[in-house]
Amino acid sequence: MNDLIAAAKAARLKAYAPYSKFLVGAALRDENGKIHGGCNIENAAYPQGWCAETSAIAAMIMAGGHSIAEMAVIGTGDLLCTPCGGCRQKIREFARGSVKIHMCGEDGTLKQTMTLDELLPASFGPENLA
């Protein structure tokens, strides 16, 4: 888990957040054990930016990964930075409910770990369309 948190911490420092100044980094481990990072990227035309979790998922897909085994998110400030509602659904597309999401402080200190089921109970996923 430490390597995942370190990757999220490094990704956070690359965030482009000139409007909110709220830097977020995320990193995920795919089914092959490879780590993919992402940061939030804002746009003057809100809501055209994208979240760190979305960026990490895109990096995973581009690298040939197909599923999320574990994820870490690091935000700005003292409050817990959880994935937003839209990102929870995007994570759900590539993760089982039992996948752990580690939420950390700016310094990388683990604040809380929750499963995707805890963050997004009774979710709608790909199997609902089968």
Active site residues: 53
Which residue blocks in 16-51 are alpha helix, DSSP H? none
Beta bridge partners of 68: 30
**Residue 125 CB neighbours (<10 A):** 16
Beta bridge partners of 29: 35, 70
Return the DSSP state at 68.
E
Name the CA dihedral angle for 34, 13, 24, 93, rounded to a multiple of 10 degrees. Answer: -20
Report helix, strand or coil for 92.
Answer: helix
Of 127, 119, 123, the closest CA to residue 103 belongs to 119
